Amino acid sequence: MKRRDFVGLSALAAGAVFLPNFPGFGGTLVTPERLLESVMDAAVNKRLADAALNAAKSAGASYADVRIGRYLNQSIFTREKQVQNIQSGESFGAGVRVLANGTWGFAATNTVTEAGLAKAAQLAVQIAKANSKVQKEQVKLAPVKGHGEVSWKTPIQQNAFEVPIAQKVELLLAANAKALDNGANFVNSSLFQINEQKYFASTDGSYIDQDVHRIWPTFDVTAIDRASGKFRTRQALSAPMGMGYEYMTPKAAGKIAGPAGTGLVGYKDSYDILEDAALAAKQAKEKITAKSVVPGKYDLVLDPNHLGLTIHESVGHPTELDRVLGYEANYAGTSFATLEWRAKKQPYGSKLVNIVADKLQPGSLGAVGYDDEGVKTKKWDIIKDGVLVDYQKIRDQAAMVGQNESDGCCYADSWSSVQFQRMPNVSLQPGKAKLSVDEMIKNVDKGIYIAGRGSFSIDQQRYNSQFGGTVFYAINKGKIDGMLEDVAYQTNTLEFWNSCAAICDESDYRLFGSFFDGKGQPSQVSAVSHGSATTRFNGVNVINTARKIG
């Protein structure tokens, strides 16, 4: 059977695993049909959850919550003209978290029966009581009123798991063909799809049924010049989204033209992978002969598909309250934005900088109705007119900063992982006055326009960062003036945000996303979006990254 026959015959086929080591989502590999079976029944889950909660209370818990979760994923990988790997995975089980003697305990089980959950609850209480012997301070939970029986679903139009694999494979291979036809030597493309079916219940009286969907198409194109031995890559300019397969259907209204002279297109709530792959191939080739940047101070004009990552690293992470308090010190680090620092009301950025946290934003990766400890989600200010006004909190942190309400930022990447504080969608608000990206560039005398994520690194307290990008264009006297290479900018978070000089308006606003954001020990991943419009930062230090290795 040839590949095309497979594509034609198989509406729901899983493919060969000859090529190794792609990032997996965990769980057990299953036939794709399994992903369409419905095994989560709210009435059954309520009975099971009550068994866990009652067992926890009987064993001595003062509080308990239970998460019964079915986590589905599918990933498709291709290179050039072939399918490399198709994985369909499912993970099903339950995690019980309890407070006993003022100390947390957690246990998980894949035996999702009343007896299995009761046993897990008893074990969680046992662990909590054992740990309480070495604890000095009791956990204080911010109050949450029970929500009763409620539900929430990502507002998708087309469930990606219901789309035949054949159709998805065909699209990725068509994108690869576009790249190869336009001069690429190599192309890898992939499509990640996630569906979290989560049932949460707590002794507060909440029974919450949620159905969360995420999708991420992406590719990497490489062009090689054999004579010089140079090679360059260009990544997709898609964003992972909290959407269904409708994201893969290009819509004219979802496209935003990049600056004149670049040919770039920004994608809002739909993605044209064929168009982007063709342009990527041309740009990867162009990068081989692009001018190497002259280091110095430049005014940077940053596309949302680049700036999202800067927001993530320099605002999202440092305003996580668990980092501020020291819980992440051994791994990802702490934060410069300490409680004392915030009390001084030191400017985080210029007055133009308004950054909001929002767990409700349509299309975003972090959108849910309720977090993983039953808190109804909301939108709130993190930075207002350039000043840090709040952090991201969960129930056991609110009291530590003199507040009595969680922000709904609790998340676990699996039923078997304990939930903890994770970043909500954190986004820069667009400018209020009308301003297009071309108008913004018109006012830049010596600058660089950057799109795409590229290389990124920031210190453990989130001061010093270095960011690269996918494509770079010189801006000379108000105009795009050819492609640049070897560009990275180094900055300090506070200097960077204080150099923010202009933000395009709402019409340029788009989401960027991080699909596998890591944190915690053992490490867990979460997905989160960052919105912005194209933004200008004045006088940023740009270095040249070209080196010789002999």
Partner 1 sequence: MAILSKEEAQAILTKVLSYSKADECEVTLNGRTGGNVRSARNAISTAGAVDNVSLAVESRFGKRSGVATCNEFDEATLRRCVQRAEEIARLAPESPEYVPYLGAQKYLAPSPAAFAAATANITPDYRAQQTAASMKLCEQKKLSSAGFLNDEAGFIAKRNSKGLEAYQQITNLEYSVTVRTPDGTGSGYATADYNDASKFDAARLTQIAADKAAASVGAKAIEPGKYTVILEPAALVANTDASLLAALMNALDARNADEGRSFLSKKGGGNRKGEKLFDERVTIYSDPLNAEIPTLTFSGDGRPQQKMTWIEKGVVKNLYTTRFWAQKAGIPDIPRPGGWIMEGGTQSVQDMIKGTEKGILVTRLWYIRPVDPQTLLYTGLTRDGTFYIENGKIKHPVKNFRFNESPIIMLNNLEAIGKPQRVGGNLVPPLKIRDFTFTSLSDAV
Q: Which of residues 221-240 bind partner 1 (CB under 8 A)?
A: 222, 224, 226-231, 233
CB-nearer residue toward partner 1: 131 or 158: 131
**Based on CB atoms, which residue is closest to partner 1, 325 or 511?**
325
Q: Is 178 or 232 the residue whose CB approaches partner 1 more closely?
A: 232
Q: What is the residue-wise DSSP string for 349-393?
A: S-TT--EEEES--TT-TT--SB-TTSPBP-EEEEEETTEE---B-
Query: How many whole angstroms separate alpha carbon 369 and alpha carbon 70?
Result: 17
Cα–Cα distance for residue pair 522/5, rounded to 1 Å: 43
How far apart are CB 166 and partner 1 at their closest, in Å? Answer: 10
Tell me the C-alpha to C-alpha distance, in Å, between residue 544 and each of 293, 488, 548: 6, 7, 12
Under a CB-based contact definition with an 8 Å cutoff, are residues 65 and 203 in contact?
yes
Q: Which of 24, 26, 28, 44 binds partner 1 (CB under 8 A)?
A: 28
Diameter of the chain measured on Cα atoms: 74
DSSP 35-97: GG-----HHHHHHHHHHHHHHHHHHT-SEEEEEEEEEEEEEEEEETTEEEEEEEEEEEEEEEE
Segment 355 to 414, residues that bind partner 1, using CB under 8 A? none
- Segment lying near partner 1 (by CB under 8 A), choices 10-18, 48-56, 279-287, 438-446: 10-18
> How far is it, in rounded angstroms, from Cα 463 to Cα 492?
5
Tell the smallest beta-carbon distance from residue 518 to partner 1 (Å): 10
Backbone angles phi, psi at 442, to 5 degrees: -55, -30
Do residues 251 and 270 lie in contact, with contact meaning Cβ atoms separated by under 8 Å? yes
- Name which position in 234, 393, 422, 462 contacts partner 1 (CB under 8 A): 462
Using CB under 8 A as the binding criterion, the count of chain residues that bind partner 1 stands at: 81
Cβ-based nearer residue to partner 1, 148 or 522: 522
* Residue 532, CA distances (Å) to 106, 270, 377, 416, 435 in order: 38, 16, 21, 34, 13
- Distance separating alpha carbons of residues 192 and 243, to the nearest angstrom: 12
> Which of 62, 82, 158, 436 is the binder for partner 1 (CB under 8 A)?
82
Interface pick for partner 1 out of 138, 151, 346, 457 (rule CB under 8 A): 457
Q: Is 344 in the site for partner 1 (CB under 8 A)?
A: no
Site map 466..505 versus partner 1, x via CB under 8 A: x-x-----------------x-x-x-x-------------
Site track for partner 1 across 303-342, x = CB under 8 A: ----------------------xxxxxxx-xx-x-x----
Name the residue with tokens 């139009």. 157
Q: What is the DSSP string of 305-320?
A: HHHHHHHIIIIITTTB
Q: Which 102-161 positions form the footprint of partner 1 (CB under 8 A)?
A: 104, 106, 127, 130-131, 134-137
Closer to partner 1 at the Cβ: 233 or 305? 233
What's the closest the beta carbon of residue 277 comes to partner 1, in angstroms?
A: 18
- The strand pair at 265-267 and 255-257 is best described as antiparallel
Q: CB of 473: closest distance to partner 1 in angstroms?
A: 19
Nearest distance from residue 112's CB to partner 1, in Å? 13
User: Rule CB under 8 A: which of 518-547 touch partner 1?
Assistant: 520-522, 541, 543, 545-547
Q: How far is the CB of 66 from partner 1 (least distance, A)?
A: 17
Whole-number minimum distance, CB 395 to partner 1, in Å?
15
Residue from 83, 125, 279, 290 in contact with partner 1 (CB under 8 A): 83
Q: Which is nearer to partner 1, 483 or 504 (CB)?
A: 483
Closest separation between CB of residue 258 and partner 1, Å?
Answer: 24
Residue selected from 14, 175, 201, 256 as contacting partner 1 according to rule CB under 8 A:
14
d(CA 32, CA 41): 20
Bridge partners of residue 71, in order along the sequence = 91, 196
Answer whether 491's CB lies under 8 Å from 465's CB.
yes
In whole angstroms, the minimum distance from the beta carbon of 540 to partner 1 comes to: 12
31-50 residues in contact with partner 1 (CB under 8 A) are: 31
- CA dihedral 512→513→514→516, nearest 10 degrees, is -150
Q: Which span sits near partner 1 by CB under 8 A: 23-31, 254-262, 433-441, 509-517?
A: 23-31
Footprint (CB under 8 A) of partner 1, residues 183-202: 185-186
Question: What is the smallest separation between the CB atom of 436 and partner 1, expressed in angstroms?
Answer: 32
- Measured from the CB of residue 461, what is the shortest distance to partner 1 in angstroms? 4
Stretch that binds partner 1, among 61-69, 429-437, 459-467, 474-482 (CB under 8 A): 459-467
Distance of CA 532 to the CA centre of its chain: 14
Cα 391 to the center of its chain, rounded Å:
18
Nearer to partner 1 among residue 131 and residue 443 (C-beta): 131
Peptide linkage before 522 cis (omega within 30 of 0): yes
Q: Taking the mean position of all CA atoms in its chain, how far away is CA 213?
A: 13
| Stretch of 154-162, 272-280, 356-364, 454-462 lying at the interface with partner 1 (CB under 8 A) | 454-462
Question: Which span sits near partner 1 by CB under 8 A: 15-23, 43-51, 150-158, 273-281?
Answer: 15-23
Q: Which helix (H) or strand (E) holds 268?
A: none
Nearest to 530 by CA among 310, 281, 267: 310
Cβ–Cβ < 8 Å for 264, 480? no
